[in-house]
Amino acid sequence: MLTRREMLKKVGFGGMVLVGGSIMKLPLMKTQLAHASESEKWRQFAGSKIVFMSEDTPPTAAIKSKVKVFQDLTGIEIEIIQEHLDIVAEKVGIDVRGKKGAYACFYSQDKPIGAQFNAHAIDLRTFEKDPTLPKVPDGVGDDVWLSRFLDITGRFFGESKIAAYPYDNAVAVMMYRKDLFEKYSPQFEAEYGKPLVYTRDTTWKDVLDICKFFKKSKFSDVKYGIALQGREGWGGQLDYQRVSYANGMWLEWDFDDYFGSKKPGPCNWGDEQSIMTMTNYKALMKYAHPDSLVNDWSGANTAYITGLAAMQPQYGEFAAVVEDPNQSKASGGRTGYALCPKGDPSWIVGNGKAVNGTNCGIGGIAINRWADKDLQKAAYLFALWSSSHETQYMVMKDVGGTPTRKSVYELPDVKKAFYRETAPMKKLDKPVEIEKGVMVNEVPLMPNALTYAPILESIKKPQFVIGPKVIKFNEYAQIQTSEIHKCVSSLKSPEEACKAIKKKTDRLYRV
Amino acid sequence: MTYPIDETIQTPLPADQGASWFKGLFARIKGALSFDLWLMMPTIIVLAIITIYPFFWMLVMSFKEVAMDPGQEDIWIGLYNYIRLFDDESFLNGVKLLIWYFFLCLSIEMFLGLGVAILVNKAKFENFFTIIFIMPMMVAPIVVGYLFRFLYNVSFGWGFWFLKSSGLIAGDTILANAQPWLLPFMPSMAFMAVVMADVWEWTPLIMLIVLAGLKAVPQDQLEAARVDGAGPIRTFFEVTLPNIKGVLLIALVVRFMDNVRMIDLIYVLTKGGPADTTKILPFYLYNVSFKYFEFGRGAAIGFILLVFTIIVSMFLVNVVFKKKETTNNV
């Protein structure tokens, strides 16, 4: 019979053998995994749970609706939290600064999140090289993404590290009411001596004329020419930048926009061009929808779809709402999508070039460096899956997305959907009356695709402006927009506002 | 250079004298603490830990530039975070707006709360009206913010339509209106819109506190005033108001402390805009700390706000207790 002491010895030895065996087995398992099939690699973290903190964008809503496909593929449970971008930045900031890793992966908009927290993201190249992790057919190299999107969202301040994969894109286009333009063209032409049309040669000065015309005319079906997005912070910074870059390709700083800078040096605010643009932006705001100073992208879109404004510079992803007759008076083929307005020679100081200034927010998906190691890999699988060609095509076709991979835009049915004339349509169960006597029977199958033609044109140089990718971007955007507000509200002159931005911004970067 | 040595400090106490000094100190503390205080001690210790520890860290952080990225060290910068605030336009504007906010909210809420409480007190269906009036107080401030944002919306806001068509506001917008309200030195229309949302939500609290105070007004004093021939207005100013002064001051302190923490409404309604006209100090503090992640600067602002709150609260509390003592002496 065994004594208690002998029993404990044997159990202890047995335990040591088991533990030792499993330790010795680990590298073997890893080697096995490296040679395992792709489906086994996708399933290696089955049973894990990860949290993805994302902005409440239509593409994320689309991914969320298709997340079961990912769960079936990997066995990983994923919780997708959707918040307003400011809240995402705040929560991610607190999480990573506290080194908690509660969000294994997070949405990383290039400037407000990426430029601030890229150091807290894992270098995705380490996972790319890992033979135990799966690959996607197209790969994740620079050439698979649209217009250097990987540089925009993944690389910061000259480092080779890749902090995020391009996950969705918000590129600005001009959305305008074709029906109203046609209807009021004769009257506009009689007053301004030019037809009321929107083309890629339409300038911001033309837009100002259109705004004056609509505001003065007080038509029953539209009140304002344009709805802008001047809310304090990033939204307002982007809104202003579309005008400032179009006129003379003016930039806040003179560094390489794709990678940004930690020490940007003295800014260009306060120069003659900035004062000229500030003066003209103030004029635009005077004739724009009256809430334009507090509206962000959603607020401006509400003004547009409720029929209060005839135009809005807006991000492509909003086309799904604009084309939905249950929400929008601008649906039923009434909206045209075009490049943002061009600069006007009379608004440019010196020899600057007039371009169709277009800006963007390229959303990346980043992995939290403070998360558990296995969860990081599980999150990588999600990043890989959600940014893959198959997923981007699936969500775009079924729900509405904004793909970042070139290959999706090259698919024949997607190309057809670029133009209203050839776009595949979906019959509605019941016709919807968007205005008295105006019925809508069908909607585009891929509404966002209607914006792709102008987007693909816009993201080329010289139209495309990316930056400024700077540290302390959020504070910079706040300084800029609050001074713009003071100018628009006549509390400061354009010159005083521009010089105040210069002073405060240079101080922020210790110039 | 040598310094003169203070012999009285250097000379050690004899061992038995030292021990008895500690014993004496312990006895004094023991004597000072009543049995009730001993019972409360665990709670006091826990509260002290959870408040003093973060307070200490806030103070330390306010002397540092807190590192943003992993691997970087915090930099000790002394009083720089404090000094720069006095040259920070947003900070000074925030202080000014906080005082305005406090003044406008409190004066309107006190006036309305007192009025409604007097009307409701001993009225027919008093309980029913009390429940109806206190309903806004039960709504989360963030929800109130959204409610008013929709009301003020120029596209479909009922509130905007009402104010505009009744001629109470000029201009085509409320929340984007940075123009001074009434006089050039007063806050903007947007600021007043935030104040009105606060008034809607928190007037009921004042009403509730005052109503409780009104119940405690001695009936014999009221009857004596009536017998002496005092009318309702004189009775109110001579009897009711002196009796509820303490309660009013408590309401003032409570609302003041709420105001210095207020960010929810502004976050939803204006985000501090337009033109910084609604960026009161607590909101600026929130921006600095959780939007710019400048924890050092945020801690300095937080510390100043804390000192400001303590001074004003102490002043108000002193007024309350002085009033009570005077009443007791009488």
Tens of pLDDT, residue by residue over B268-325, are: 998 898 999 999 999 999 999 999 999 999 999 999 999 998 898 888 878 766 665 6
Two tokens at A222?
A: 């539209």
Q: What is the CATH number of the domain that holds B257?
A: 1.10.3720.10
Does residue B267 fall inside a structural domain?
yes
The span from the CA of A401 to the CA of A395, in Å, is 6
| Strands A77-83 and A49-55, bridge-based pairing | parallel
Q: Please measure the distance between the N-terminal and C-terminal CA atoms of chain A and give it in whole angstroms.
A: 84
Contacts of B171 in chain A (CB under 8 A): 290
Contacts of A471 in chain B (CB under 8 A): 68
What is the reported pLDDT for B249? Answer: 87
What is the reported pLDDT for B18? Answer: 61
Burial-class residue B107 by CB neighbours within 10 Å (0-12, 13-18, 19+).
Answer: exposed
Q: Which residues of chain A have pLDDT under 70?
A: 1-35
> Hey, what's the torsion of the CAs at A346, A347, A349, A350, to 10 degrees?
-40
3-class state of residue A470 by DSSP: strand
Same domain, B20 and B104: no
Same domain, B23 and B93: no
B199 to chain A nearest CA, in Å? 22
Domain count for chain B: 2
ipTM, 2 dp? 0.84
Give the type of residue at B237. F
Does residue B179 fall inside a structural domain?
yes
B-interface mutation test, from A478, A479, A499, most B Cβ less than 10 A away: A478
What is the reported pLDDT for B239? Answer: 92
Of the CA atoms within 13 Å of residue A200, those in its CB half-sphere come to 11
The span from the CA of B25 to the CA of B30, in Å, is 9
Q: Cβ(A177)–Cβ(A311) under 8 Å? A: yes
What is the reported pLDDT for A34? Answer: 66
Give the type of residue at B204. P
Same domain, B21 and B106: no
Does residue B49 fall inside a structural domain?
no
What is the reported pLDDT for B131? Answer: 92
B28, containing H or E segment: helix B15-32
Same domain, B105 and B236: yes
**CA nearest to A192, candidates A176, A181, A177, A200:** A181
3-class state of residue B137 by DSSP: helix
What is the reported pLDDT for B124? Answer: 85
**Chain A 120-139, CB below 8 Å of chain B: which residues?**
120
**Chain A 36-75, CB below 8 Å of chain B: which residues?**
none
A95 interface with B at CB cutoff 8 Å: no
Q: Cβ(A449)–Cβ(A348) under 8 Å? A: no
Please give the residue of chain A at the shortest CA–CA distance from B290.
A90
Same domain, B134 and B16: no
Same domain, B273 and B135: yes
Please give the residue of chain B at the shortest CA–CA distance from A484.
B275
A215 interface with B at CB cutoff 8 Å: no
Task: Closest CB to A485: pick one of B172, B274, B293.
Answer: B274
- The residue whose two tokens read 């910068």 is B77
**CA nearest to B74, candidates A106, A189, A97, A148:** A97
Q: Cβ(B103)–Cβ(A506) under 8 Å? A: no
Tens of pLDDT, residue by residue over B172-201, are: 888 888 887 777 777 888 999 999 999 999
Same domain, B99 and B7: no
Q: Cβ(A506)–Cβ(A263) under 8 Å? A: no
What is the reported pLDDT for B16? Answer: 61
**Omega before A462 cis (within 30°)?**
yes
pLDDT values of chain B reduced to their tens digit, one per residue, 330 residues:
444 444 444 445 555 666 677 777 677 776 766 777 888 889 988 988 888 888 999 999 999 999 888 888 899 999 999 999 998 999 999 999 999 999 999 999 999 999 999 999 988 888 999 999 999 999 999 999 999 999 998 878 898 988 888 877 777 888 888 887 777 777 888 999 999 999 999 999 999 999 999 999 999 999 999 899 988 899 999 999 999 988 898 898 889 988 888 999 999 998 898 999 999 999 999 999 999 999 999 999 999 999 998 898 888 878 766 665 665 554
Does residue B41 fall inside a structural domain?
no
Same domain, B313 and B183: yes
* Cross-chain residue pair A119–B68, CB shorter than 8 Å: yes
Residues contacting A494, CB < 8 A, separation 6+: A275, A278, A279, A282, A487
Bridge partners, A145 (sequence order): A405
**Chain A 249-288, CB below 8 Å of chain B: which residues?**
none
The span from the CA of A236 to the CA of A238, in Å, is 5
The span from the CA of A344 to the CA of A356, in Å, is 10
B70 to chain A nearest CA, in Å? 7
Alpha-carbon distances of A146 from A82, A140, A152, A322, A452, rounded to whole Å: 25, 12, 10, 25, 12
A-interface mutation test, from B85, B87, B293, most A Cβ less than 10 A away: B293
Note down the domain range covering B22: 1-32
Does residue B80 fall inside a structural domain?
no
Same domain, B114 and B194: yes
A118 to chain B nearest CA, in Å? 9
* Cross-chain residue pair B173–A290, CB shorter than 8 Å: yes
Does residue B39 fall inside a structural domain?
no
Same domain, B217 and B284: yes
Does residue B42 fall inside a structural domain?
no
Contacts of B268 in chain A (CB under 8 A): none
Give the type of residue at A380. Y
What is the reported pLDDT for B77? Answer: 94
Same domain, B117 and B14: no
Contacts of A293 in chain B (CB under 8 A): 173, 176, 178, 273-274
A462 to chain B nearest CA, in Å? 31
Does residue B46 fall inside a structural domain?
no
Same domain, B208 and B315: yes
B94 to chain A nearest CA, in Å? 13
The span from the CA of A314 to the CA of A170, in Å, is 9
Contacts of A295 in chain B (CB under 8 A): 176
Bridge partners, A172 (sequence order): A315
Q: How many contiguous H segments (helices) and E segments (strands) does chain A have? A: 21, 10
The span from the CA of A408 to the CA of B223, in Å, is 86
The DSSP line for B92-129 is: HHHHHHHHHHHHHHHHHHHHHHHHHHHHHTT-TTHHHH
Q: Helix, strand, coil % (nearest 5) of chain A?
A: 50, 15, 35
